[in-house]
């Protein structure tokens, strides 16, 4: 009966898309779904309206309220324009930046958005072609705009697209503006969308912004002398068909690296991502061609950026000369270790610096910060929260780096989102610094574990697509709240944090408040043996994520393999305990 009611509801919604307000191709697609005996696609396409999550608007492309198309993008832009006009009504001219990635329909969605903003009296700076997300973030601040959007689905599979909304500080939208925009979008009917643009209010930008942005990225170089000595460092880079090709090779050259090799097959702009299963540098498969080239050249480092060039993945040689992947937690660890160590060594610390990590990122970073007397802050998943910390301390304390386990890092404050352009450049500098001492990146990582403690992290993604999947994820979170684990893999839970209620409970049942800016649907468990488990539904994909971190012992580099194997065994025990 419940399913019949749902089908009735989505059918009524779908029929609204058969009016002249929608183009012929869209109507044809909706009719096909309505006429199909299997109503799964119809339900998934219309059971809800796409909403802003941790990464904005994101979904599969196609017809429907729960799909990315010119009407859902149009409604989002019209609602955003309405909110901007209300919020900045005292300004003579409101302005926004519009950018996009390499995906199918990205240019179309960007141009439609530019038209809608301009039709609402808002000046638009529209990039002439795809650009990295961080450059779009930079442009908002540089041009003095009130907001910006980027059409991108980041590292998602090829059938996805997305819409990231940014505020005047160059960061993704936070409260109260996120809710304010959503409320305005909810009021928009298709006939309200002003699709006919005002060309006089649309200004095309490109190389003029590129040059200034890349110069700013170059300014974060910590030790230019080490680069001069190691300018022949052999670097392999791939943009995975995306926007990185418009910034990262140029940045590496500007920093002084003269031996950079790009993966030719993946320097081809394509929203079909023909050479990979998924354009995600977190996946080993995506780096296959780059590692192959790295082996043939005996390269020092292999690096990859995702389609919108905000995430960076990497591989390097281990002590046996075998190519190994460096995960997101290790990446963040390496960056922050290098920044702190070498800023101190070169006398660049003033005593007011701070770093940021997300609550699901490795706790070894905390050990580095404490031992070096650097303030470290924890924040929610999503770079908008790191950007918030930068904003709160602007002009008072100096942000010098922050990152998350999902391969995102930001080494500067003139961008307010993760930045693979600067991260790849800084990564090359770290490799040059290591080589200057006769070390590899792998040996630097081993040294960090020896000095600050070994941990191994593993993320389990439980994918639950569609309406039924969303319900299952909700139920899983409810089950954890109603029946929290007392022990995990044989170790007692000594602290449980519920960020939805903003309460922490210790092993004796004592409760205290969590100091966070707002509630979030995240659970965390800490055990007596140092294990940390975090559980949260993804804000941008149909899955629930389990972040597992376990501790181990390393007295010498030779202990690494044994410590790693023991940690892997412990992670399996944790998974068994949690039933995942």
**Which pLDDT score, from 0 to 100, does residue 470 have?**
86
> What global pTM score does this model have?
0.94
Same domain, 555 and 565: yes
DSSP string, 304-328: EE-TTS-BEEEEEE-TTS-EEEE-H
CATH number of residue 439's parent domain: 3.40.120.10
Same domain, 427 and 528: no
- The answer to whether residue 165 sits within a structural domain is yes
CATH number of residue 465's parent domain: 3.30.310
Q: Please write the tens of the pLDDT for every residue from 123-181.
A: 999 999 999 999 999 999 999 999 999 999 999 999 999 999 999 999 999 989 988 88
When pLDDT is cut at 50, 70 and 90, the band that residue 213 belongs to is: very high
Domain boundary among 143, 171, 205: 205
Output b/e per residue, 333-352; b: 16+ Cβ within 10 A: bbbbbbbbbbbeeeeebeee
Same domain, 238 and 200: no
Of 296, 100, 79, residue with least CA distance to 188: 79
- The answer to whether residue 36 sits within a structural domain is no
Same domain, 233 and 375: yes
Average pLDDT over residues 259-280: 98
- CB 436, CB 424: distance < 8 Å: no
- CB 112, CB 73: distance < 8 Å: yes
Q: How many domains does the chain have?
A: 3
Same domain, 360 and 411: yes
Of 242, 329, 237, 246, residue with least CA distance to 291: 237
DSSP string, 140-164: HHHTT-SEEEEE--TTS-TTEEEEE
User: How far, rounded to the nearest angstrom, does the alpha carbon of residue 565 sit from its chain's CA centroid?
Assistant: 29
**Which pLDDT score, from 0 to 100, does residue 164 have?**
94
Same domain, 116 and 235: no
**Which pLDDT score, from 0 to 100, does residue 467 have?**
78
- The answer to whether residue 34 sits within a structural domain is no
Same domain, 319 and 350: yes
Distance, CA of 167 to CA of 139 (rounded, Å): 12
| Token digits of residue 120 | 């609402």
Q: Average pLDDT of the chain?
A: 95
Domain boundary among 160, 176, 205: 205
Q: Please write the tens of the pLDDT for every residue from 373-406.
A: 999 999 999 899 999 999 999 999 999 999 999 9
- The answer to whether residue 171 sits within a structural domain is yes
Same domain, 363 and 469: no
Helix or strand run (H / E) with residue 7: helix 2-15
Active site residues: 154
- CB 237, CB 259: distance < 8 Å: no
Q: Please write the tens of the pLDDT for every residue from 57-69.
A: 889 999 999 999 9
**Which pLDDT score, from 0 to 100, does residue 384 have?**
93
- The answer to whether residue 138 sits within a structural domain is yes
- The answer to whether residue 24 sits within a structural domain is no
List helix spans (H) across 298-440.
Answer: 328-345, 364-371, 383-392, 420-436
Q: Please write the tens of the pLDDT for every residue from 326-353.
A: 999 999 999 999 999 999 999 999 999 9
Domain boundary among 392, 427, 452: 452
Q: Please write the tens of the pLDDT for every residue from 554-576.
A: 999 999 999 999 999 999 999 99
- The answer to whether residue 313 sits within a structural domain is yes
Same domain, 175 and 291: no
Domain around 422: 213-452
- CB 248, CB 421: distance < 8 Å: yes
The answer for residues whose C-beta is within 8 angstroms of residue 521's C-beta and 6 or more apart is 477, 499, 500, 536, 537
Q: Please write the tens of the pLDDT for every residue from 32-66.
A: 999 999 999 999 999 988 876 545 688 999 999 99
**Which pLDDT score, from 0 to 100, does residue 1 have?**
40
Q: What percent of the chain has pLDDT over 70?
A: 98
Q: Please write the tens of the pLDDT for every residue from 445-497.
A: 999 999 999 999 999 999 988 878 888 999 999 999 999 999 999 999 999 99
- The answer to whether residue 441 sits within a structural domain is yes
Same domain, 200 and 257: no
**Which pLDDT score, from 0 to 100, does residue 55 have?**
58
Same domain, 413 and 471: no
Give the three-state DSSP class for 13: helix
**Of 79-88, 440-449, 531-540, 566-575, the least confident:** 531-540
**Which pLDDT score, from 0 to 100, does residue 563 have?**
97
Same domain, 278 and 423: yes
**Which pLDDT score, from 0 to 100, does residue 541 have?**
72
Q: Please write the tens of the pLDDT for every residue from 271-300.
A: 999 999 999 999 999 999 999 999 999 999
């Amino acid at each position: 009966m419940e399913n019949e009611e749902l089908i009735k509801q989505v059918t009524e919604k779908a029929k609204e898309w058969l009016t002249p307000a929608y183009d012929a191709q869209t109507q044809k697609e909706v009719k096909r779904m309505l006429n199909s005996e299997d109503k799964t696609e119809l339900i998934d396409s219309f059971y809800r309206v796409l909403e802003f999550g941790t990464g904005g608007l994101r979904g599969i492309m196609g017809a429907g309220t729960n799909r990315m198309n010119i009407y859902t993008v149009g409604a989002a832009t019209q609602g955003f324009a309405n909110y901007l006009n209300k919020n900045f009504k005292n300004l003579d001219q409101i302005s926004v930046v519009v950018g996009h990635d390499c995906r199918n329909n990205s240019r179309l969605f960007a141009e439609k958005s530019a038209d809608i903003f301009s039709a609402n009296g808002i000046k638009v700076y529209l990039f002439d072609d795809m650009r990295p997300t961080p450059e779009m973030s930079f442009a908002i601040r540089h041009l003095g705009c009130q907001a910006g959007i980027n059409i991108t689905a980041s590292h998602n599979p090829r059938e996805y697209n997305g819409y990231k909304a940014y505020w005047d500080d160059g960061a993704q939208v936070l409260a109260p503006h996120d809710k304010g925009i959503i409320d305005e979008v909810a009021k928009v009917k298709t006939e309200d969308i002003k699709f006919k643009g005002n060309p006089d209010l649309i200004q095309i930008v490109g190389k003029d912004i590129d040059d200034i942005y890349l110069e700013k990225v170059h300014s974060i170089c910590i030790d230019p002398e080490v680069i001069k000595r190691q300018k022949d460092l052999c670097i392999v880079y791939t943009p995975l068909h995306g926007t990185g090709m418009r910034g990262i090779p140029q940045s590496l050259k500007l920093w002084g690296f003269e031996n950079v090799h790009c993966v030719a097959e993946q320097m081809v702009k394509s929203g079909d991502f023909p050479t990979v299963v998924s354009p995600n540098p977190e996946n080993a498969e995506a780096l296959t061609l780059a590692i192959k080239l790295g082996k043939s050249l005996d390269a020092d480092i292999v690096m990859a950026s995702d389609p919108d060039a905000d995430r960076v993945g990497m591989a390097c040689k281990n002590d046996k000369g075998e190519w190994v992947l460096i995960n997101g937690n290790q990446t963040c660890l390496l960056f922050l270790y290098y920044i702190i160590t070498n800023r101190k060594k070169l006398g660049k610390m003033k005593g007011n610096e701070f770093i940021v990590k997300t609550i699901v990122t490795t706790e070894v970073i905390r050990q580095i910060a404490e031992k070096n007397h650097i303030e470290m802050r924890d924040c929610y998943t999503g770079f908008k929260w790191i950007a918030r910390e930068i904003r709160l301390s602007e002009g008072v304390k100096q942000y010098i780096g922050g990152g998350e386990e999902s391969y995102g890092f930001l080494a500067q404050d003139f961008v307010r989102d993760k930045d693979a352009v600067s991260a790849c450049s800084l990564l090359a500098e770290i490799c040059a610094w290591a080589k200057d001492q006769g070390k590899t990146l792998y040996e630097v990582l081993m040294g960090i574990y020896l000095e600050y403690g070994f941990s191994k992290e593993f993320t389990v993604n439980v994918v639950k697509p569609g309406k039924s999947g969303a319900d299952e994820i909700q139920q899983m979170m409810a089950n954890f709240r109603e029946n929290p684990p007392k022990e995990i893999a044989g170790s007692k839970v000594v602290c449980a944090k519920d960020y939805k209620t903003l309460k922490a409970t210790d092993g004796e049942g004592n409760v205290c408040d969590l100091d966070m800016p707002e509630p979030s649907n995240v659970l965390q468990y800490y055990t007596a043996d140092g294990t940390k488990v975090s559980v949260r539904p993804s804000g941008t994909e149909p899955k629930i994520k389990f972040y597992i971190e376990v501790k181990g012992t390393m007295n010498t580099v030779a202990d690494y393999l044994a410590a790693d194997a023991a940690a892997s065994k412990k992670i399996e025990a944790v998974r068994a305990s949690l039933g995942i």
